Structures are given as structure tokens and as C-alpha cells.
Structure 1
Amino acid sequence: MTLYAEIATLIAEGRAFVLATVIESAGSTPQKPGSKMVVLEDGSLRGTVGGGAIEFQIIEAARQLFSAPERTRTLETHLTHELGMCCGGRMKVFLEKHEAPMRLTLFGAGHVAREVAALALHVDFRVTVVDARPEWASSERFPGCEVLLKDPADHARALSSDARDCFCVTTHDHPLDQAVLEALLPKPSAYVGVIGSRRKAERFRMRLEAAGVEAAALERLRSPMGLPIGALTPAEIAVSIVAELIQVRRSASPRK
């Protein structure tokens, strides 16, 4: 498999990586401009930029870039003076971070969920839709999404999550919304939101608190979810929700 094919596979699998490309070289160097190497989060490699001390330095720089706010970095090194290599040349390497897409799980497959899914896919979220109703949860209604014909509350209780997961609760039933939220709020995530009015939000917070959900978890709940743009139609509501998801992804200031 060529390096480009491996990169395409990593992107399709939603895996994060740093692409290192030699962009300049002078004198004797192990690789010339255009040589590429992929560094994964676990330190495994695809391709090479020459091995030895220079490759080790690039791997370390790539690992640092994974946790840095910037997406690119340039590394310039004299192989003999700085690394003690016998080559005697100089290399400049461009590092480019490709982040794993955030995962969005929609609990409920109604009209708003359908609009949210389409828009979220367009801005590079990986979307899963969960609903027990086959007439609503179908690949025809949600092209490009993973569609799970399951009870949303059962799925919420069973799933594992991390800080790149976003959850939007849009089921057809208020008690089901609450059951899903009770399961989701204690789990790690970047975003948990539920659709509804401010009055519904107040009632939900009271019920969730009574059910034993901790105050710190309740603070993370976005309810009503979406930025306050006066949205009315399902499409407009979807715009407000996806805009808030983008805000979270870009680590912008949270909504007041």
C-alpha cells in the first residue's frame, strides 16, 4: 500500500495523525524534499524521512503537535551541528496535524435530527443516529450516517465515550429524553444538549438533580441547545445547534 493510500485509510477511519514532509534540504541528507512520513498518536509510523536522530526529533515534534493549539509547525535542523549525525547537511520539515473528527450522536431521528445530521456531516462530524422506530431511523433518511435501530436510553447506558464525543438528545418523548440524559451526563464528552424550551430545560434540571445527577454534570448540559439566533424551523434550529457544536470544536468562548 502506498503512503497516500495509507493516509486515505487513516482519514476514512477517523484517526488523528501528523504528516511530516521534507520541504528543503542542503548538503548531504538522508532524504530529499518531498519525502514524507506519517506519525500516529501512539507513535507508530508510516513511511520515513531518513531514520536516525533526525527522524527521532521529528517524531517528538509531531507528538508535541498533537496537544498543541496550532495545526502546523516547521522544524529546521543541521544534522551535524545539532544532532551529531555524520551527514553534514541541513533539513527543513513541515509538520501538519490532521485531527480525528469529532463524533456526534443524535438520540432521536425526528425532523430536527435529520437536519442536524445533514449539516453536521457537511462540516466534518462523524454522525450516528439512534432511534428504535424503523420508519424514522433509516439510511434513506440519514445518508452518510451510522444508523442504529436501538432504544436510545439503552444505547446511552452502554456506550463508551471520550472528550471528542458530542451528544444531542432529540427524542420524541420527554421521559425518554430524561433517561438518555441520566445515562450521558456522567460520561466524558465535549457536548451534551437537549432540544426544548427554557421551561422544559428548567423542569429537566430539577428532575435530573432529583435523580441524583451531580451538579458538576448538570453544569455541562446545554438546554435549550443551540446558539440563541431566534430559530423556528427544523432547518434553522439545526443551524443554531451545529453552530454551537462548531464553537465547542474550535474552543471558542462558551455561550452565556
Structure 2
Amino acid sequence: MFEAASSWLSSGFNVWLYTVVRTWGSSPRPIGSVMALRDDGRVVGSVSGGCIEDDLIHQLQTKGPPGETRPSIIVYGLNADEAHRFGLPCGGTLQLVQERLGTKSGLDTLLRALREGRIVRRTLRLSTGETHLADASDEPGAIRFDKTTLSTVHGPTWRMLLIGGGYLSAYVSMMAIPLGYAVTLCDPRPEYVAELEIPGVNVVRTMPDDAVIEMKLDARSAVIALTHDPKLDDFALIEALETRAFYVGAIGSRRNSDARRERLSLFGLRDAALANLRCPVGLYLGGNSPPEIALSIIADVTARRNGIPITELADVRLGKTIAG
């Protein structure tokens, strides 16, 4: 989205940035959602289910550009009628910060940081429109807003390590990147990654257990082993299960998964750590093609990331499991 906004500015358009900073009741989009609006009505991003976007475009086209040159606060849904009009159920209310992008916005600096894979906190002072960027690699991603400053975190705040090259890893990567993951693909076998080029994916050829140690996994990290090769997977899984990674999984049939657990237990892995292994990885969705398996993996990871308890989907009658 910031890439598009920067391109629009370079082409001579006026651009406004809208950020959801507070909600009351039900809201179609969470706090931190962002949208950029061009002066001809084109938008990228989203702050609601569409009604508020439509109103902002309508206001622009009928009343002209916003008169405020400095950032301002906009509120939608103050009463039940307005909440219904803008698709805010249960009397919901939405508060936005409107910011006209320009030289004070620091957009080029922000984009450079994002291209380098850095996690940064952007702080906007509403009284002047000036911004400040700072490293945020150790900070949570929640926004901060006190009516005078708006502080938001940008960059790949989630990390995913995929062990093993191949088409399945490619599909998992392509689904993970739009979800905000910085993806690292590890496979020491050159024949498996020689022709695998995925924009935005960091490819390393070290041994997977070394990659796990090097990444210093935290609670916003996921590790997924996709090789079927115990020599590559097992030691990496042992290292990963002793970290705070929120998701550690390995592909395989249920029989192979049971054998894997037996092998890992022989290395003195704690029962509590072994219980966190998602093996077989993913949810059973009935498909066997690489894209379908990748979807099942991403669905499982997403549920875990959001703290949603999911009963494992499996066809018990047929004894099938993912990638079985």
C-alpha cells in the first residue's frame, strides 16, 4: 500500500492516509487498518467493509479535498442511524486519523526500511504532520494513539522458517508473505532451491538446526519442516521446540508422525515441548495438491497465531491426514 501511495505522489497526485485508531462496539476492520486515498478517488487498503471508503470518496468528489493540511481525527457512527448507514453493526463507532502525505511524511525512508526487511515504528505528530521512524524489532505491533501522536509499527513483525525447498514451500511462502511474514527458506541441498525464486523470500543453505539457532526464534515465529527427511528435519525441530515459537510443525502421514515423535523423545526433549509439535502439519481439508496442502498449513498457522482453538480436521473413517 505504501508503495502505491509513493508512486501516486511521484506522479503528482495528492494522497491522504487514513488509519483506524479506535473502535467502540463492533467494527468491520481492526485497529491499525490503513487506507490511502488519491485525489481522483482511487483507493488502496481498507478501513471498513466498504461504506466508509465510499463516503470518503464521495466527500472528496463532491466537496473537494479535505481542508485540513495537518492530520485530523474523523469519527463515524456516533449514533445508531449513522452506524447502520456505514455498516457498523451493534451501534459500532470508528475513529480515523486523516493524514495528507507529503514531504513531512517520511514515506521514502519508511519504504527503504521495509525493503530492507526492518521492523520500524512510525510516529506522527498531529499538530505538525511531522513523522519520526525508530527501530521496533523488539516491540509489539499494537498502535499507540493519545490524540496528539499516532504511533504504528510497520514491517514483517511475524517470521516463518520453512525447512525444505520445492513447490510446496513455494506455495506456503506465497501465502505467508501477504499475511505479514518474513519468510526464510532453508535447504542445504542445492538441487532443491536452484530454480526456486520467490520474491521476498530469504533462501539460506545452512543446516536447518543451525538456521533455527541463528534466527533466535521468538513468540512471533513459526517453523515448518517440509522435507520428509529426518536428517534435515529432526534436529531443527528439536531446537525449535525449545524456543518460544508459537507454531512448530512437520509434514507427514500419521504413521510417520508417530515415528517422528518417538525419535524426538529419544533426544531428551521435554514432554511439554514435544506436545507443541504440530505433526501432521496443517488441517485436513480433503486436498492433496501442493496449493491445497499449503492452504491447510497456512489455515492452521493462522488459527494458532490468532489464538483460535481448532479441533483437528481429519477424516477418521478413512484414516486420512494431511499429506498422508
Q: CA RMSD in A?
A: 2.9
TM-score (ref. length: structure 2): 0.56
Which secondary structure state, in structure 2, belongs to the residue aligned with residue 253 of structure 1?
Answer: coil
Deviates more, 1:229-238 or 1:241-250: 241-250
Which secondary structure state, in structure 2, belongs to the residue aligned with residue 216 of structure 1?
Answer: helix
Which blocks of at least 5 consecutive residues in structure 2 are unaligned?
Answer: 1-102, 313-324
- Name the CA distance, whole Å, in 1 between partners of 2:239 and 2:109: 37
Are residues 1:11 and 2:106 paired? no
Are residues 1:75 and 2:165 paired? no
CA deviation string 1:225-247 (max 9, x = no partner): 11232231111000111122222
Which secondary structure state, in structure 2, belongs to the residue aligned with residue 135 of structure 1?
Answer: helix
- Name the CA distance, whole Å, in 2 between partners of 1:39 and 1:202: 46
- Name the CA distance, whole Å, in 2 between partners of 1:202 and 1:232: 20
Which secondary structure state, in structure 2, belongs to the residue aligned with residue 201 of structure 1?
Answer: helix
Counterpart of 1:93 in structure 2 is: 149
Counterpart of 1:174 in structure 2 is: 230
Q: Which amino acid aligns with 1:74?
A: F
Q: Structure 1 residues 145, 127: closer, same or farther in 2, change over 3 A?
A: same
1:172 Cα deviation after fit:
4.1
- Name the CA distance, whole Å, in 1 between partners of 2:298 and 2:241: 20
Equivalenced residues, count: 209
Counterpart of 2:184 in structure 1 is: 128
Return the match for 1:112 from 159, 162, 168. Answer: 168
- Name the CA distance, whole Å, in 2 between partners of 1:245 and 1:42: 21
- Name the CA distance, whole Å, in 2 between partners of 1:99 and 1:42: 9
Q: Structure 1 residues 7, 106: closer, same or farther in 2, change over 3 A?
A: same
Deviates more, 1:192-201 or 1:136-145: 136-145
Deviates more, 1:157-166 or 1:117-126: 157-166
Higher relative contact order (CA 8 A, sep 6+): 1
Counterpart of 2:133 in structure 1 is: 38
CA deviation string 1:155-210 (max 9, x = no partner): 34555322222111011423432232223222331211100112222221122112
CA deviation string 1:212-235 (max 9, x = no partner): 111111121111111232231111
Instruction: Give the 5 Å matches for 1:152-163.
Output: 152-156=208-212, 159-163=215-219
Q: Structure 1 residues 12, 160: closer, same or farther in 2, change over 3 A?
A: same
Q: Structure 1 residues 98, 248: closer, same or farther in 2, change over 3 A?
A: farther
Which secondary structure state, in structure 1, belongs to the residue aligned with residue 238 of structure 2?
Answer: helix
Asked if the contact 1:106–1:169 (Cα under 8 Å) also holds between the matched residues in 2, the reply is yes
Which blocks of at least 5 consecutive residues in structure 1 are unaligned?
Answer: 24-30, 44-65, 77-91
Q: Structure 1 residues 216, 36: closer, same or farther in 2, change over 3 A?
A: same
Which secondary structure state, in structure 2, belongs to the residue aligned with residue 232 of structure 1?
Answer: coil
